Every structure is written in structure tokens, then in C-alpha cells.
Amino acid sequence: MLNFQLSMPTRILFGRGEVEKAGAEAAKMAGKVLLVTGRTATRKTGVLQRVINSLETAGVEVVVFDKIEPNPRTHTVDEGGRIAREEGCELIIGLGGGSPMDAAKAIAAVALSGHPSHEYIAGNQTGRWRELLPVQEALPIMTIPTLAATGSEANNGGVLTHEETKEKGGFSGPALFPKVTIIDPELTFTVSPEYTADGAVDMFTHLYEAYLTGADDALVQDHLTEGLIRAAVENGPIAVQEPTHYEARAALMWASTLALIGLTGAGRGGSFPMHQMEHTLSAFYDISHGRGLAILAPAYFKRVAVDRPDRLARMGRNCFGVTELDDKVAAEKTIDAVIAWFKSMNVYLKLSDLGIEREMLATMAEESVRVGGRGQAFIPATRELDVKEVLAIYEESF
């Protein structure tokens, strides 16, 4: 196990009906808040109004900013930052999936700094991210997730898309840990089967990225990771079939939070190649993040099966019921088992199914390595994924 430092400062309120505590929690920190949310879902499901009522009952003044698109754009974040500054908001609340929560974090940073948010994207061509990251100052943040996927609710990172340059990338820093998150699994009852499946794939990917690329002598982390993967594998299909199954929704919600809170990756190192490759697809074609990850996984796993068959075999045996003893054979069987799981949630697809054009693959491979490589000519993984290799993965996923 490698040495590590771990900070998990976000206070977590978890469970049925906890969303009603939003007002009381916010009132401890602020008299006026910016409530950042998406364009449709939270209004349609009534949760936006519930949160506004809770805040107002607690005497908190609310400014609603409901313009966040999936794969949030930097110009929308900049507008939110301007409003937060002009209105004198003291707390930024992100209500929704990863997109509104990430946007809330970025708004909390730019409201103070006044910098355009695209400069915070790691790998951005301006190079300013080298000075701006890690983010050390931001307004206080609170999150209320309505979708189990990203783990953004309790981590200190986010992802933005700069539309003009098609750069999609991460930003992070200690100031971006939410002070508190209210995780009420019932808020996810209304998530569609498609986004439920995408979310399960996203948390699965957060778990296997470092597990497959990092140190293999982090035994506690292996057990934690495998337990959380099993939670996603078992409960994803249940929630897809039965959207109001509370225990399945609660398991997915808690697993997604724990999957990207630093816990399973600490002491292991490793990298996030699948995320680098997927973010470029979402930047160019605005596809769902989890869906893109599902599509790329089989081609990526084929490389892992060659480079580190022992790790893929271990995941197959401990999470997908693979019984084969030979590592190389077990690694191949793991790929089949993952595909079967994707099929059980109707998320086994190809890039061509999402309207992506073959002639754009080469451009996207170059962009993916440029942004994801952060100055290197490759994305680190179980091997160095250079432009040629990323293009091959895109082609095989087409």
C-alpha cells in the first residue's frame, strides 16, 4: 500500500425524507443562497419547490438558477457566478445530478475569483489551470443529489465543458468539498431507466479505474472496491426494473457516494483513462457520461486483459461470479460478464447508436490525448494510450 493523505470533510445526512432538512442546514451558514439546478427534472418532480419551501421556512432567502445543462457549459457557470456575486449569495446549493452539483462548485469558485470558468479546466489550452488549481477559495457549498452516479455530492471535484474549444475536463481543490450533503434516495425514484443504468455504469467505472491501473497490493482498498462494485452490479438492474425500490435506490446512492470520495483510491495511485476518453465524446456529442463509459469499456478491458489479466480476473471472480482459475481465461470471461450486466440494463451499445460520426473519431482521439494527457503524448493506463491506441479503442467501440 502506498502512503496517502485522505480528507473526507463533507458532513452527510442520508435517508428518507432528509431533504426536508435543507433549510435548517442552510440557515446555519447563510441568509441568502443561490440554488443551482437543472432545466427540467427538479421542477417537474416537485423537489425544487420542496427545497425552496424548506429554505424559506428556515428564513433563508433563495435565488434560483435553473439553467444547468447536462455536461454543464462554462458560459452557464459564468452567468451563475455573476448572479451569485451581484445578489450577494453566501452559500451555493447544487440540487440535481452531477451536472448541477459540479456547476454549483464551479460557481462557488468563480463567484469569488471572477475568473472565466473555462480557465479552471485541467488540460485547458490557456494553461491557466496550472495557477488556478487546486482551488483554495470558494463560497461554501451544499449538495442535494437527485441521481446516483458521480459522487460529486461529497467530493471536491467537478467537470465542465468549454463549448468553443470542445474541451471537457476536471477541476478540483480543497475549497470545493461541500460543507454538507443531503442524500435522500427517494429523490432518485423518478430517474429514468436509461439514466439509472448510466449512473450504475459511472459508479462502476469510478471503482475499477484505479483498481485496474493502480498498485495491486492495496488489500483493504481491494475489498472496499469489490464490495461497492457488487452493490452496483446487484442493485442497478433492480432499480432499472423497479424505480421505486427503496433499498436498491439507497444502495446505489450510497455506493456512488463512497465510490468517488477518495476512499477506494487512497494508497493505490492509478489513473482514470476511461474518463479521459469519455469526456471528449461528451464534449463533442453531448452524450450521457455513463453511457459513453459503457460503450468504451469492452474495448478498454481487452487491453487490460493483456496487460494485467490478474486484476481483471480478480474483479471477475469477486464481483461477477467468474469461477475460472486461469487468469487469462478468467479475464476474458470477466469481459463477457460485464457485457451481460450491461445488457441486463439495456446499456450495451455502440458509438454509432448515439449518432457519433466515424469521421470524427480521429479528431476526438487527438483531443482526448491533448486534454487528458495534460502535456504528455499519452493517457496513462495499464499501457500508455497514445492517439493511435485511443483511436483504436474508439474504432472498436463504433
Residue 272 has φ and ψ, to the nearest 5°, of -125, 55
Report in angstroms how near the CB of residue 14 gets to ligand NZQ at its nearest: 16
| Dihedral, 96, 189, 42, 355 alpha carbons, nearest 10 | 70
| Residue 173 within binding range of ligand NZQ, rule CB under 6 A | no
| Residue 169 within binding range of ligand NZQ, rule CB under 6 A | no
Given 40, 49, 346, 352, the residue binding ligand NZQ (CB under 6 A): 40
With contacts defined by CB under 6 A, name the span among 39-47, 213-221, 230-238, 310-318 that binds ligand NZQ.
39-47
Given 103, 149, 197, 322, the residue binding ligand NZQ (CB under 6 A): 149
Q: Which is nearer to ligand NZQ, 194 or 324 (CB)?
A: 194
Report whether 176 contacts 142 (CB < 8 A): no
Interacting residues with ligand NZQ between 309 and 328 (CB under 6 A): none
Q: Which does 35 bind (CB under 5 to 8 A by kind): Zn ion, ligand NZQ, none?
A: none
Residue nearest to ligand NZQ as judged by C-beta position: 38
| Residue 99 within binding range of ligand NZQ, rule CB under 6 A | yes
Give the relative orientation of helices 361-373 and 273-285 as an angle to the nearest 10 degrees.
130
Q: Which is nearer to Zn ion, 119 or 202 (CB)?
A: 202
Count Cβ atoms within 10 A of the Cβ of residue 44 and give its class: 0-12 exposed, 13-18 middle, 19 or more buried: exposed
> Which residue shows C-alpha cell 448572479?
83
Q: Which does 157 bind (CB under 5 to 8 A by kind): ligand NZQ, Zn ion, none?
A: ligand NZQ
Distance of CA 337 to CAs 11, 229, 328, Å?
Answer: 36, 13, 14
Given 18, 119, 202, 389, the residue binding Zn ion (CB under 5 A): 202
> Which residue shows C-alpha cell 504528455?
376
Report whether 123 contacts 372 (CB < 8 A): yes
With contacts defined by CB under 6 A, name the span among 16-24, 79-87, 92-100, 309-317 that binds ligand NZQ.
92-100
Q: Which is nearer to ligand NZQ, 133 or 329 (CB)?
A: 133
Q: Which is nearer to ligand NZQ, 99 or 221 (CB)?
A: 99
Given 146, 213, 334, 397, the residue binding ligand NZQ (CB under 6 A): 146
Q: Which is nearer to Zn ion, 202 or 367 (CB)?
A: 202
Q: Which does 102 bind (CB under 5 to 8 A by kind): ligand NZQ, Zn ion, none?
A: ligand NZQ
Report angle CA 322, 290, 80 to the nearest 5 degrees. Answer: 150
Interacting residues with ligand NZQ between 221 and 280 (CB under 6 A): 260, 275
Q: Which is nearer to Zn ion, 18 or 202 (CB)?
A: 202
Q: Which does 178 bind (CB under 5 to 8 A by kind): ligand NZQ, Zn ion, none?
A: none
DSSP annotation string for 307-347? H-HHHHHHHHHHHS-----SHHHHHHHHHHHHHHHHHHTT-
Ordered strands of the 141-145 beta sheet = 11-14, 180-183, 141-145, 91-96, 32-38, 61-68
Up-side HSE of residue 260: CA atoms within 13 Å toward CB? 27
Given 117, 150, 257, 264, the residue binding ligand NZQ (CB under 6 A): 150
Q: Which three cell numbers stand for residue 182?
A: 443531503
Show Cβ contacts of residue 199 under 8 Å, excluding neighbours closer than 6 positions.
Answer: 147, 148, 149, 150, 191, 252, 256, 290
List, in sequence order, every residue forming a beta bridge with 171; answer none if it has no partner.
158
Binding site for ligand NZQ (CB under 6 A): 38-41, 45, 70-71, 96-100, 102, 146-147, 149-152, 155, 157-159, 187-188, 190-191, 195, 199, 202, 260, 275, 289-290
Binding site for Zn ion (CB under 5 A): 202
